[in-house]
Amino acid sequence: VHVVSGVAQARELASLLPRPVGFVPTMGALHEGHLDLVRRAMNENASVVASVFVNPLQFAPTEDLSRYPRDLDGDRAKLAHLGVDMLFMPTPQTMYPAGFGTAVDVGPMGTVYEGAARPAHFRGVTTVVTKLLHVIDPDVLYLGQKDAQQTAVLRAMIRDLDMNVGTSIVPTHREPDGLAMSSRNVYLSPEQRAAAPSLHEALVTLCATLEHGSSKADAVAQARSKLSPLAQLDYLDVVDADRFEPVEQLRPPAFIIGAARFGKTRLIDNLWIEP
């Protein structure tokens, strides 16, 4: 794997790769969920580029930027093992030199759910992904279903701004007990780790109760009862998969979404209701 940290060097090398080029942006500390995206990209493209960049723009000052898990040697080894062609690993100074001030904002879709809990988050995501797409110029962008609202926000951005890239959404990789894999799971204490799968159980209950014909209000109440007492619920809801607006009935494509805090660690999860 060619490891590149400069923009000009990354652009040059990426432009020489055989097409189609698949691109997998990450914040590193790679786990099997990330590697599913890479494997899918390898299967579907002639070349694959991955990036590892812990993007300061998408963290609020109160969030976990400085303690976000980092494992650059491990990440490089995993990507090399899978046969990735190029790894782009810029520094914050490279991405945001003095005077940087432009932002990409998708509007209302970025202000609800995760955007309500984390006000500058999606603007940080759309801005960095725009930059990465301009540097790498891939044919297909690989995104995890785990971050459902992020998939909707980025697809809206690509459509609204006529960006010339396709998207491929990869299903969520879970631990055997149902917990969605996340770099943030390492923050959980043993008690919180044991309680964390209850978020997924709540989503499964919400789905089953709706399919049984209950109202959304009743289904949400049923689902809440599955949550561990250690979970502080932020939201449980059903949304249209493209617009991320709440819907009363399970009409595909939809996401059943949830977020809860276990101590200081905020976890999100969702079920994808496919057409």
> Active site includes 212?
no
- Told to check if 114 binds ligand AMP by CB under 6 A, we report no
From 2, 31, 34, 121, active-site residue: 34
Binding residues for ligand AMP, total number by CB under 6 A: 17
- Of 37 and 236, the one with the shorter C-beta distance to ligand AMP is 37
Dihedral angle sign, alpha carbons of residues 268, 137, 162, 97: positive
- Told to check if 173 binds ligand AMP by CB under 6 A, we report yes
Give the nearest distance from C-beta 213 to ligand AMP in angstroms: 31
Window of 138-146, 219-227, 239-247, 264-272 that interacts with ligand AMP by CB under 6 A: 138-146
Give the nearest distance from C-beta 157 to ligand AMP in angstroms: 14
Restricted to residues 205-234, the positions that interact with ligand AMP (CB under 6 A) are none
Q: Helix crossing, 121-136 with 7-16: angle to 10°?
A: 50
Give the nearest distance from C-beta 32 to ligand AMP in angstroms: 7
| Cα(204)–Cα(197) distance, integer angstroms | 11
- Of 221 and 273, the one with the shorter C-beta distance to ligand AMP is 273
Residues 140-169 as x/- pattern, contact with ligand AMP by CB under 6 A: ---xx-xx----------------------
- Of 4 and 125, the one with the shorter C-beta distance to ligand AMP is 125
Report the candidate in 132, 26, 21, 38 with the shortest Cα–Cα distance to residue 79. Answer: 38
The two most distant CA atoms of the chain are separated, in Å, by 56
Candidate residues 126, 130, 172, 265; the one interacting with ligand AMP per rule CB under 6 A: 172
The tokens for 262 are 């276990």
- Of 1 and 220, the one with the shorter C-beta distance to ligand AMP is 1
Residues 8-27 as x/- pattern, contact with ligand AMP by CB under 6 A: ------------------xx
- Told to check if 179 binds ligand AMP by CB under 6 A, we report no
Q: Helix crossing, 197-211 with 216-224: angle to 10°?
A: 150
- Are 149 and 244 contacting, i.e. CB atoms less than 8 angstroms apart? yes
Restricted to residues 31-90, the positions that interact with ligand AMP (CB under 6 A) are 33-34, 36-37
Give the nearest distance from C-beta 248 to ligand AMP in angstroms: 27
Tell me which residues are annotated as active site.
34
Binding positions for ligand AMP, rule: CB under 6 A: 26-27, 33-34, 36-37, 143-144, 146-147, 170, 172-173, 180-183
